[in-house]
Structure 1
């Protein structure tokens, strides 16, 4: 199985999509205080540690979903269980494939804002697989190895350059050696009703990401009518620059806040 990156045609289609957009976030006097973080493929929730520390220091109640990445349905179910435990409104955050998870799970009533950290934001009927099915000439191709028993891994020797190029070499190699297998069922899981069509969305566009091309990030953010923050870094921006990630999450909490508890 060969995975590819978004084509120029796909990017153009995303940019021109006329799907209903999420409502423009309106500042309120009561910020949201609950944040739920969802990791992507090949990693687990421990990568959120520095973002967690920054947010909890600022008074946020932060929960981290440990997705099995066995299928989109499983990961959405795990995320919804965490959402059900929250008291009050929630900002739901996803990195990479985690963006597909929050797009599906974010329809929960207590989710008031979505934050995409260089993440996939599929439309109805789309999956991560469909979004990356046609490569653009010259676009970086993630070093995903052929599946074994339905599970995918990144080539450890190429992990740093593709996923974590702005991290210290030892940290990047640890991430490569501790990566979590990602099932093809998660890759191919399709979205039913995208939460970004009805919820305010925020997107961190990362220039320098070699897993999701920046043009694709911008196109998905535009389609979701997201409030965009731009930075430079790698796909592992939530590890390498937790401050910019936490800042966008707090922006979402303040601007999509609600007085209800």
Structure 2
């Protein structure tokens, strides 16, 4: 926690990305005097990933504003139940209801362009004779589906360095919905081709969040970093002691 008593911001990335996806937002927050942590999410299971982020949050002294992008929204929905989480910020994310899975929320609405661009790859599970399944985005489809509006050379790097998500994460149900007890903000990426923007709108409206819309593709933190930092800072100011 910063000397001023302002919350620490923890930036939780989603599927097919990593913490470097916040590379343009982090300097904006630091300039505003905000302490930032941007961990690597394992992307192995919703419950496991949420437990990992929760363990990190518990080690931070003072209040935390927990931000989640995309799948990271589902993660913060669960991890945000930690006592020192003061607020939640969703960026083009999944705001699950208690007892709801990613697949169930997404299944309420027509598929986005992502559905036809996914690649499924088996991976070994330590200590087991069975294999898991990694889900990633076709490299040739990545720039238009996931990173439209991002500088082409950067998008090509992101495409070949993406962090896949284990298919298991789509079926696990959220045991808690932290937005029920924590003030929350949500950003809809209205030109999103990865998550149907109506999925974002529905989750945010159901949660009664303060919501904004930005004409952006899925990687809104790279295409509109100032607007993203402004929304996060709004949550910081609202919850600062």
Tell whether 2:99 aligns with 1:116.
Answer: no
Aligned to 2:57: 83
Residue 247 in 1 paired to residue 230 in 2?
yes
Partner of 2:195: 212
SS of aligned partner of 1:119: coil
With over 3 angstroms needed to count, the CA separation of the structure-2 counterparts of 1:120 and 1:32, relative to structure 1, is same
Task: Give 1:99 deviation, angstroms.
Answer: 0.3
1:140 has 2:140 as partner: no
Give the corresponding residue for 2:164.
181
1:199 is matched with which residue? Answer: 182
Kept in 1, the 8 Å contact 2:7–2:239? The answer is no
Query: Which runs of no fewer than 5 residues in structure 2 stay unpaired?
Result: 124-132
Confirm or deny that 1:234 pairs with 2:217.
yes
TM-superposed CA distance for 1:68, in Å, is: 0.8
Equivalent residue number for residue 107 of structure 1: 81
Mapped pair 1:56 → 2:47: no
The match for 1:46 is 20
Cα pair distance change 1:112/1:134, threshold 3 Å? closer
Greater relative CO, 1 or 2 (CA 8 Å, sep 6+): 1
Post-superposition CA distance 1:94-129 (Å, at most 9, x none): 000000000000000100100000100111111112
Which whole-Å deviations, capped at 9, do the CAs of 1:32-77 have from their partners, x for residues lacking one?
3310010000111111122111111211110112111011122112
2-side partners of 1:162 and 1:122: how far apart?
Answer: 23
What's the CA shift string for 1:172-201, capped at 9, x where partnerless? 111111111210122222101100011111
Give the root-mean-square deviation of aligned CA atoms.
1.6
Corresponding residue for 1:190? Answer: 173
Indicate the SS of the match to 2:236.
helix
Structure 1: gaps (5+ residues): 1-29
What is the distance in 1 between the residues matched to 2:178 and 2:9?
A: 16
* Matching residue of 2:129: none
Q: Deviations over 1:213-247 (max 9, x none)?
A: 12221111101110011111110111121111100
- Of residues 153, 169, 188, the one that matches 2:136 is 153
Do the aligned residues in 2 keep the contact of 1:66 with 1:78 (CA within 8 Å)? no
- Higher mean C-alpha deviation, range 169-178 or range 111-120: 169-178
Structure 1 window deviating more from structure 2 (99-108 vs 54-63): it is: 54-63
TM-score (normalised: structure 1)? 0.83
Task: Report what 2:48 is aligned to.
Answer: 74
1:33·1:59 contact (CA, 8 Å) conserved in 2?
no
* Partner Cα separation in structure 2 for residue 32 and residue 222 of structure 1: 27
Answer 1 or 2: which has greater strand percent.
2
Tell me the residue number matched to 1:27: none
CA distance in structure 2 between the aligned counterparts of 1:248 and 1:109, rounded to whole angstroms: 22
